[in-house]
Every structure is written in C-alpha cells, then in structure tokens.
Amino acid sequence: MPDGSLGSPLLNRGLPNREGASPLPGLRRGRGAVSNPANRFERTRADAFDDGWGTLAQALADLPPLATSLTRDSARSALTWNDSPDLGFDRSVNPYRGCEHGCIYCYARPTHAWIGLSPGLDFEARLQFKPEVATLLEKELRKPGYVPRPVALGSNTDPYQPVERTLGLTRQVLEVLERFNHPVTIVTKSAGVLRDMDILTRMAARNLVQVCLSVTTLDNRLARVMEPRAATPLRRLAAIHELSRAGIPVGVLAAPMIPGVNDAELEKVLEASHAHGARAAGYVLLRLPLEIRQMFEDWLNAHMPDRAARVLALIRETRAGKTYDSRFGIRQTGTGPYADMLARRFAVAMERLGLDKARENGGLDCSQFAVPGVDQRQLELL
C-alpha cells in the first residue's frame, strides 16, 4: 500500500482546537452545522433572543452532545427518477433521509424541509430510514417493461453513514441488485463500503459496479470541521486502495472544491487518490442553494472568522456576483476567471496522472439484467 502519511500544512489558520469541548459558543461537538434554521415552509419562526441578563450566551456556552434519532420512513417506492442534464444517471436509491456525516456544504440539506425538519442540525441528527427499501426495489425491478440503466446509490445522502453498521439497508439493496444483475454506481465518504466487498467483487467481475470515494481534503483538522462524522482522509484513501486491489473499479470525487478553503489541495487530492488506486476522477464547485447559504456563512464565521469575507467574495466571483447560480450546465462548475482556472487545473492534473473523467454510469453493462425466476424468452414477447 502506498505511503499513507498525509502531513499537510494547508489551511490550519482559524481552525479551533477540537481535542476537547468546543471553545466556540453554540457548537455541538461532533456536528457540522452551527445552526438549526427554521423550515422554509413554516409560516412562523422562532429566534433565540438575549434578554440582557446574559442567559443566552450562558446556555450556548457548553451545549451537550446531540444524540441521533431514527424514524421509520413509510416510502412507497425505492427508485427516485430525474431528468437533470447535469447528472449522468436517471435513477437512484437512497435508503436514508438525512446524513449523520454532518458535511456543512451538503447540497441535500434543504430536502429535510420536505419532511418538516430543519436542514441544519436536524439533517444530521434526526434521520429517517426506509426499512422496506430492498423489497420495494425488487418490486420495481420486476415490473413489466422495466428498462435497466445504472442506478446511483448515495446520490442524496451517504449510503454508508454510521447507522448503516446496524441497519444494513445498503447491503440489502446491493443483494437485490446482484440477484438481478443490475448495474450500480456508489458514492460515499465512508470506509464502510469495504464491509460489502464480497458483493462488490462479484459484481465487478461482471462489470456491474463502480465506486467513487469523495475526498475533499487531506488535512485531518479541516476534514473534522467540514465533515465531522465521515471517515478520515487516510481511511478513505485506504478504502480506495482496498477496492482497487480487489479489482473493483474505483474513482475519486474531489467535491466540493471551496474557494479559499480546500481548493488549493485539488492536485494533491488527485495525486494521493491515484497513488492509492483511483483510475477516474471528478470535481464539483461548492453549491449553496436555499438554506445552505446562510448555514455555510454561519459555519465560516464560527470556524474561520479571519478569512470568511474573502471566501465568500471568491464564491461570488464564481457565481456572477451571487452566492449561487442554479442554472443547468453552470451550477456544478461556476463561471468567471477563478472557476475557469479551477477547471483548467483539474484538466491538467487529469492528463498528467492519466485519470479518466468519472462518469456516473462507468460504462457498466446493462445487457445482463435478468428477473430471477422469469424465463427471459417470455419477456421478449412483452
């Protein structure tokens, strides 16, 4: 295995000492968001108010750890469909709503408002799980006329977040896909993907799976405040190595790149991932839709007050003066000189390292799809 030492001098300025209790008021140890904004669909909202007696500051000074709660999701389908031109897949499966990894920048946070919860701390701590997801998926794959194309596992929230250790819903989904010879792509920040190496190895032998590890930084301290409950950078690189050694196609997603925070590490992330076995790569510029904009600003001011203004200025430079541009074809990469420079750096590094551009379908084989227990000759008559 390549040398795993990740000594990095990058971006330590402004980061708090996380060894003990957080020294910053309002922070929950082990959580990413520093706020829990109101649901945007609610007609009323409540804000904390200091009555002049200092009680608010005292209450926020030493908050207890925030426990994770689980609620059953009564979903009626497993597959989610999309026709976005920005995505390389048209269907996905997400066993969980919300994600305990706590990545402050997660574009999925606003979806928690759809179930009446906050995109902030609620998204990290109040999770919903779909106990029937594998059964529902099998029913959908058995429908007459179903046309197979690669399904994305983990397109909205991480399929290998900590709760997967006990619930095993992602493994159940993979078991169904393997029985149907259905191609799948996986995106994760967790080394937990190695628990399913047996299934993934068998599917890889039939060109039915591709895995991408998301690696945003090689700096452990930065990773700890950006994505507090995800695997460390070293463990993610080790997972890339193990997957590659087992013959499972594996790539890296350097996503998101945040101007002035982790974008200086783009080439180092690609180099380290390539050294550990990644053969494909992609990147995405930071996206700040809906509530994420204010939450990200709050996070910046809490953790990096000395450069928060500069980071936000750079983000606006890549979004035509705004903090976000949601137009297709632009939202993933941005515009302007700074965004163009990032894209060029990525292209140069890809060529130098001999990496392929990561594609969601990975050139996977859809022709092997077969419904168990059904004579495929009968299907040709439908």
Tell me if 53 is assigned to some domain: no
**CA atoms in the 13 A half-sphere facing the CB of 27:** 24
DSSP 8-state symbol, 65: P
Counting residues of the chain whose pLDDT is more than 70, the rounded percentage is 83
Closest CA to 211 of 193, 185, 233: 185
DSSP class of 272: H
User: Is the residue at 172 inside a domain?
Assistant: yes
In a 3-state reduction of DSSP, which class is residue 81?
strand
pLDDT band at 298 (very low <50, low <70, confident <90, very high): very high
**Domain interval for residue 193:** 67-369
Whether residue 61 is contained in a domain is answered as no
Tell me the average pLDDT across 271-296.
95
Distance from C-alpha of 326 to C-alpha of 332, rounded to nearest angstrom? 9
Q: Flag whether 17 is in a domain.
A: no
Copy the structure tokens of residue 381.
Answer: 């008559």
Do residues 196 and 189 make contact, with C-beta atoms less than 8 angstroms apart? no
For helices 336-353 and 266-275, the axis angle rounded to 10 degrees is 20
- Domain CATH for 291: 3.20.20.70
3-state secondary structure of 284: strand
Rounded to the nearest integer, the mean pLDDT of the chain is 87
Is residue 48 within 8 Å of 257, Cβ to Cβ? no
pLDDT at 82 over 60: yes
CA within 13 Å, CB half, 217: 27
**What distance in Å separates the CA atoms of residue 254 and residue 191, rounded to the nearest whole number?**
16
Exposure string over 113-150, b if 16+ CB within 10 A, otherwise e: beeebbbbbbbbbbbbbbebbbebbbeebeeeeeebeb
For residue 40, tell me if it sits in a domain: no
Say if residue 247 is exposed, middle or buried (CB neighbours under 10 Å; 0-12, 13-18, 19+): exposed
**HSE-CB of 262 using CA atoms within 13 angstroms:** 28
On whether residue 5 sits in a domain, the answer given is: no
Looking at the 3D structure of the chain, how many domains does it have? 1
- Per-residue pLDDT reduced to its tens digit, 164-222: 999 999 999 999 999 999 999 999 999 999 999 999 999 999 999 999 999 999 999 99
Domain assignment of residue 289, yes or no = yes
- Cβ(87)–Cβ(328) below 8 Å: no
pLDDT (mean) for 358-376: 80
Round to the nearest angstrom and report the end-to-end CA distance of the chain: 51
Among the listed ranges 19-28, 61-70, 369-378, which one has the minimum average pLDDT value? 19-28
Higher pLDDT, 230 or 47: 230
pLDDT at 379 over 60: no
**Residue whose token pair is 């706590």:** 102
C-alpha–C-alpha distance, residues 64 and 58, integer Å: 13
Q: Considering the domain boundaries, does residue 62 fall inside one?
A: no
The rounded distance, in Å, linking the Cα atoms of 178 and 312 is: 45
CA distance 308 to 281: 29
Residue 357 has pLDDT above 80, yes or no: no
